[in-house]
Structure 1
Amino acid sequence: MTSEPVTTSGPFDPPGVTWQRVSPRLVTARLVTAAITLGVPIVAGVVLGLAVTPWLWFVAAVPAAILVWVAIVVPRQVRAIGYAERDDDLLIRKGILFRSLVVVPYGRMQYVDVEAGPLDRKLGLAKVQLHTASASTDADIPGLAPEEAERLRDRLTVRGEARLAGL
């Protein structure tokens, strides 16, 4: 895991915060998922274009164009994902065009999940899911190494219990 010191400030970059980045293998996971999802209509369009009439190639062209767009955008999206542990809360930022910063106070956490699907396990990735007292503020950090996900889960659980005990 690499971290980058923040040099700017604003609503999405609080001063003095060192962001931890997610694994670059998350790019591969998202691109494989997109290729599988968009591959079916691409193959169907090619088959229709060859078997029925050539003007049905557009059925393959549209998802192929979307796949190219996804291949361009996903690496930037993954680089924009970061998290930071502070004394009283956890910060999670995402997005380039539509940015978001989620602040989860440790005392509001109810439980922390670690999830990994088959592709995630193959690529050595896991996702930490935070469940809070408010359903609308649940947050997740995808693309973590399993060891980092385990460490973060344990640390957040300890911090959450300590904050709840202090109430």
Structure 2
Amino acid sequence: MPDSDDVNPPEHARVEPSERLDLVGVGEWKRVSPKYVLVEIVGTILFGVVVCGGASVLWLLLEQTWALWVGLAVLLMTIINLVFEPRRVRSIGYLLREDDLLFRRGILFQRFVAVPYGRMQLIDITRGPVARWLGLADLKFVTAAATAGVSIPGLAEADAESLRDRLVELAEIRRAGL
């Protein structure tokens, strides 16, 4: 049977929900490149064209009426995504704090992830064809918890490389101190 101390931690050890992740006054958030909007728009359009094209083929050649409705629904969702794409890209940001990297993204469903420097095991730079053409790269982190991987998309290549080097340095310092 657990101690009552295990079930109810002492008052000084309790953390109020508002104190868990103080995002007010923590520093200046760095945003991804505005050119990243073009990468997202191209990806959205390509997805819409492929799915709508496939639905059109099914509808026209095989006379599958349901494919027409699927194609129209995908077309509508593609248009809605294109409208919100610039705002969604502006919501992506990161912040280097003393002990961790804080990452945020999302408009309606916001996601905040704090990645401790000492938990970073691999920091990788990836470049897709459109991003490479625009001089952009994605910085991906693999942490000790495999499900907590974080990716910062749309960084200028030079920024991604310098941030990678800085994070590797910070991770080595933190791991040496463990």
Fold equivalence (TM over 0.5): yes
Cα 1:161–1:64, aligned 2, differ >3 Å: closer, same or farther? same
Helix, strand or coil at the partner of 2:159:
helix
Shift in Å, 1:145: 0.5
Matched, 1:34 2:44: yes
Alpha-carbon RMSD across the aligned residues, in angstroms, is 2.3
1:162 is matched with 173
Shifted more, 87-96 versus 43-52: the winner is 43-52
Residue type at the aligned position of 2:91: A
1:20 is matched with 30
Cα 1:113–1:51, aligned 2, differ >3 Å: closer, same or farther? closer
The runs of at least 4 aligned residues of structure 1 exceeding 3 Å deviation read 9-12, 43-53, 55-60
Helix, strand or coil at the partner of 1:68:
helix
In structure 2, stretches of 5+ residues that fail to align are 1-18
- Per the normalisation by structure 1, the TM-score is 0.83
1:54-103 deviation per Cα after TM superposition (whole angstroms, max 9, x unaligned): x7754542222111111112111110000011121110011111111100
User: How far apart, in 1, do the equivalents of 2:34 and 2:153 lie?
Assistant: 11
Residue type at the aligned position of 1:136: T
Matched, 1:140 2:145: no
What are the equivalent positions in structure 2 for 1:69-84 lying under 5 Å apart?
69-84=80-95
Residues 12, 101 of structure 1: 8 Å contact kept: no
1:130 is matched with 141
User: How far apart, in 2, do the equivalents of 1:52 and 1:138 lie?
Assistant: 43
User: How far apart, in 2, do the equivalents of 1:163 and 1:108 lie?
Assistant: 8
Cα 1:12–1:117, aligned 2, differ >3 Å: closer, same or farther? farther
User: How far apart, in 1, do the equivalents of 2:145 and 2:108 lie?
Assistant: 26
Shift in Å, 1:51: 7.1
- Per the normalisation by structure 2, the TM-score is 0.78
In structure 1, stretches of 5+ residues that fail to align are 1-8
Residues 38, 63 of structure 1: 8 Å contact kept: yes
Cα 1:51–1:136, aligned 2, differ >3 Å: closer, same or farther? closer
Residues 12, 93 of structure 1: 8 Å contact kept: no
- Name the % identity: 41
User: How far apart, in 1, do the equivalents of 2:72 and 2:22 lie?
Assistant: 37
Residues 110, 132 of structure 1: 8 Å contact kept: yes
Cα 1:29–1:12, aligned 2, differ >3 Å: closer, same or farther? farther
Matched, 1:91 2:102: yes
Cα 1:50–1:105, aligned 2, differ >3 Å: closer, same or farther? closer
